[in-house]
Amino acid sequence: MAETEHTEFDCLKIENQLCFPLYACSKEVVRRYKPYLDELDLTYTQYITMMILWDERTTNVKTLGKRLYLDSGTLTPLLKKLEAKGFITRQRSKEDERNLVVHVTEAGMKLRERAVDIPAKVGKCVNLKPEEAKQLYRLLYKILGRIDGPEK
């Protein structure tokens, strides 16, 4: 005899879901960034936005949205906040006025120096071996439909 009853509803048990640990884990990991990001006066979403800008210097809302999986409804107010803090500038493109060009300021670039230790600090809190982290990375990007890594 089985110890546990099985029914047609087993598929609806939370322990049989893949989506739930994904959802919970994402929130927990983001939470671990918070104390470090607070020091920089950045939220997590602002932080990943700055990551793009630290690397690219200039981009626009559409590209940011595609790379970060966010839409203008999220990005517009977020970018206004980053602008208010003096980390970025926002201006319409001369060639195509629909296009909003986002550019990192000097103050924004200076933030990078203070952020450089954050990934290692948070990484230490995640108890995965390097090989496991690589596996996880690969599986996540497989779900995202980009087999070997992020879109550029």
Contact set with DNA (CB under 7 A): 23, 27-28, 30-31, 34, 43-46, 60-62, 65, 69-79, 81, 90, 95-100
**Residue 110 site contact among DNA, a copy of itself, none (CB < 5 to 8 Å, cut-off depends on kind):** none
Q: Is 69 helix (H, G, I), strand (E, B) or coil?
A: coil
CA distance 82 to 94: 22
In the complex, least distance from residue 62 CB atom to a copy of itself, rounded to whole angstroms: 17
* Minimum CB distance to DNA smaller for 61 or for 104: 61
Q: Is 16 in the site for a copy of itself (CB under 8 A)?
A: yes
The angle that helices 19-39 and 44-56 make with each other, rounded to 10 degrees, is: 70
The angle that helices 118-125 and 19-39 make with each other, rounded to 10 degrees, is: 140
Side chain identity at 137, as an amino acid letter?
Y
Count of other CB atoms within 10 angstroms of residue 79: 21
Q: Is 15 in the site for a copy of itself (CB under 8 A)?
A: yes
DSSP 60: E
Question: Out of 5, 94, 106, 127, which residue is the one contacting a copy of itself (CB under 8 A)?
Answer: 127
Q: Is 84 in the site for a copy of itself (CB under 8 A)?
A: no
Residues 97-126 that bind a copy of itself (CB under 8 A): 112, 115-116, 118-120, 122-123, 126
